[in-house]
Structure 1
Amino acid sequence: MIPRCLPLCAALLGLLAACSYQPVAIAPGEQRPLITPTEQDGAPPEVLDPGSIADATPRAEVIRLAGNSNPYQVLGKTYHLVDDHRGFKQRGVASWYGTKFHGKATANGEIYSLYEMSAAHRSLPIPVYVRVTNLQNGRQAVVRVNDRGPFHSDRIIDLSYAAAVKLGFARQGTAAVEIEVIDTDNTGGEQAVADYYLQVAAFSQLASAQALQESLRQGMSYPVSVASQLADAQAIHRVRIGPLPDFATAQAARKALRGRWSGEPQLVVDERR
């Protein structure tokens, strides 16, 4: 994952480019100009009308392994996902990213579009929906987090260009914001259905797996099981915590596992079709 930022010079370049155009409203689904990723980050050729930009629509989604390695490293620094994203709030500085990353893959493999209402965050699971409030003008926007960043200690979230326009700070480059995770478990829509597991270890000997299973069961309020299967005629016995109903519970189980196991468990998601 390539870290991104919005240097002051890029923000000024974007401002100069924007000043040559009048704001235009482009309806959802309408053809937009073809954008080629650029070396310097900046704004697209046209200036978007903030009144025409719709929020992302929160819905329950399965949080898969893609984009959710925990911990993960960028430029030699280690980052951890939050233990519980439900009710998560944070204040700090927001920035935006645009043409340099348009059409490139995000942390979970989706393709970034500067016209979509999306965002990057260092420690929230992917995907979650976040309400962003510009503390300088009171404007709000709802975005879907599907990327990692910004990897600068003075910024807490990197927004798409469209989100920055809706919030009214695309020309400044940064703004003081508050972000709040939206509870998609109570949106009234169809719920994402999956079982979550934390794979703790794998053994070739069943007795070793059962010994660890019994050890972890002591004082652990989450189910611990052994899943056995043949791989290349060799039996593999995996010790797993689960099934767990959602990602937040999996994170709580991960926290409970600390101090009882020195390694980092691997997230396994079993989607029920």
Structure 2
Amino acid sequence: MITMKKVMKSYVIITLGIIVVAIAMHFFLIPNDIAAGGVSGLAMIVNSYFSFLDIGLLMLIMNIILFIIAFILLGSSFGIKTIYASLGMSGAIWALEHIYPMQVPLTKDVLLAAFIGTMLSGLGMGMIFNENASTGGTDIIAKIMNRYIHMDIGKSLLASDFIITIMASYTFGVEKGLYALIVVILNGFIIDYSIEGFNIAMQVFIMSSKYDIIAEYIMNELERGVTLFSGEGGFTNKEMKIIYSVISRKEFIKIRDYIKEVDPKAFISVSNAHEVLGEGFKRIDAE
């Protein structure tokens, strides 16, 4: 059951992602005519021919067409969050255009602008995608591809943005079009890496003679589930209990310090779990 606290947390993260992407667009990508795919890139192309049309307004108009598709194919939760993120993105860019208009780029080094802008944009979009939302436009197409053909979000976005990148080459020149292509490719990898990083948890196996109090600590103090396996020591031939649990990186530090106190001779095996679905983590039906 989704609580109001979780819903609010999700929208706060989406809002932060919107701000990060808007900063990347306004200060780095837009001033250097780097149309890095999506409706933002398409809006930049249209704006180059019709400068009286604000980019933020163009993005808003273009996104409306895809909202119905999002509601039908991806569900109301994704649709509502996407409308919020899309409106927020358009509003944030529109506000930056009027509050801090860019007369000249922060840097005339297009490669540097592309790199910084892409790093920020990929991080922000990763935050938004991770909350089962998108900024609209081709992001919706990417999410549909992710849902139905199980392609990574970043790679799906790369596929859907390729045509817009080709258009950018025609509008802004081959050189900037190639920069845009680099941005699209790098952006896809950064988004996938960001999403993976947000969802990484630690799966731990703990072998200790004091397994009972360690398991109790995990369940009561960390409020995480544990599974007990029966094992036998290959050298000692003694039966033992093995604790298995999936916890966050922050919680692992706590359990590690606790085990140091109660049983310094314990054996702990730790590995990354790149995606965890279920109780206490991401909902299974969130995708």
TM over 0.5: same fold?
Answer: no
Structure number with the higher helix fraction is 2
TM score, norm. by length of structure 1: 0.28
TM score, norm. by length of structure 2: 0.27
Structure number with the higher strand fraction is 1
